[in-house]
Amino acid sequence: MRVALLILLGLVIGVIGTVNVVNALNARNPMPKAVMTTMDYHMGQLSHALKAGHCDATSNQRHLERLQSTATDIVPVFDIAEQPFSDAAGQLQTRVRQALQAAPADCTALAAAIKPIGETCKSCHQKYR
């Protein structure tokens, strides 16, 4: 009887432990992924425009502005306190700002404007993703 009770107690503790672990995993901050997914969406829209050969100045500007404001969230939401990481995030800011200043109004200009941005995404991923 005592053994059976101990086994039952062990099972209950096991279940409680599992629930706690699952809760902890679910509580993982969703923001880093959300920020990256949002930036990916806007970069994706810009490359779709390029592929379709339909690069509209207003739409280019809108996606670049969304990219710019979303990129300001990288450092605050990622828990990575390393200088090269914040430098990479800073470089992204600079390059998006330059792209906005270039105000690409056709596909040739858009391709030239987003190339350095894509390179920044890639180089940070090679190091931190």
Torsion of Cα atoms, 75 then 125 then 115 then 56, to 10°:
-60
Q: Which is nearer to ligand HEC, 12 or 45 (CB)?
A: 45
* Using rule CB under 6 A, residue 113 touches ligand HEC: no
Cα gap 7→77, rounded to integer Å: 44
Window 53-72: residues binding ligand HEC (CB under 6 A): 67
Site string for ligand HEC, 77-96 (x = CB under 6 A): --------x--xx--x----
Q: Which of 39, 46, 49, 64 binds ligand HEC (CB under 6 A)?
A: 39
Give the tokens for residue 3: 């053994």
Query: How far is 39 from 14, CA to CA, in rounded Å?
Result: 41
Nearer to ligand HEC, 14 or 125 (CB): 125
Region of 53 on the Ramachandran plot (φ > 0 left; ψ -120 to 50 alpha; else beta): left
Which stretches of the chain bind ligand HEC, using CB under 6 A? 32-33, 36-37, 39-40, 43, 67, 74, 85, 88-89, 92, 117, 120-121, 124-125, 128-129
